[in-house]
Amino acid sequence: MAAHFLTTANSLSCPHGGAVTISTSNTRVRAGGQPVVRASDASTIAGCPFTIASVPHPCVRVQWDVHAEQHKSHGDWSLTLDSVGFCLAADGGTQGTVVISSTQTRGGGQ
């Protein structure tokens, strides 16, 4: 079974529709021509409309908890379709998991 790698080109969001952006320093390992993202890469969320009792409580970052167990990119675990990212508010509260819309199936490099 092929690993479905997450890259900088994939569409990710919080469960409330905020856009997840992953910044990576990985320049060598690619899938579908785009850098494969890793568990340690910075993942931020913008545009989350979530509120609690009419008070804005948006998702602002992602903490990746599950990653590829057989593939590393630049010395860190790669993220795949099976990865689980928890969407966190500014106060650290977990507000759901990342919604992954698509992935790349071919990896290359080391």
The predicted model scores a pTM of 0.85
- Asked, for residue 109, whether it belongs to a domain, the answer is no
Examine residue 49 and state whether it is found in any structural domain, yes or no. Answer: yes
- Determine the structural domain holding residue 38 and report its residue range: 12-100
Structure tokens, 95: 């507000």
Is position 17 within any domain?
yes
Q: Look at residue 84 and tell me if it is in a domain.
A: yes
Note the pLDDT tens digit of each residue in 55-106: 999 999 999 987 667 777 777 888 988 899 999 999 999 999 999 986 555 5
Residue 18 lies in a domain: yes
pLDDT at 14: 98
Asked whether the predicted pLDDT for residue 6 surpasses 80, the reply is yes
pLDDT of residue 76: 85
Structural domain tally of the chain? 1
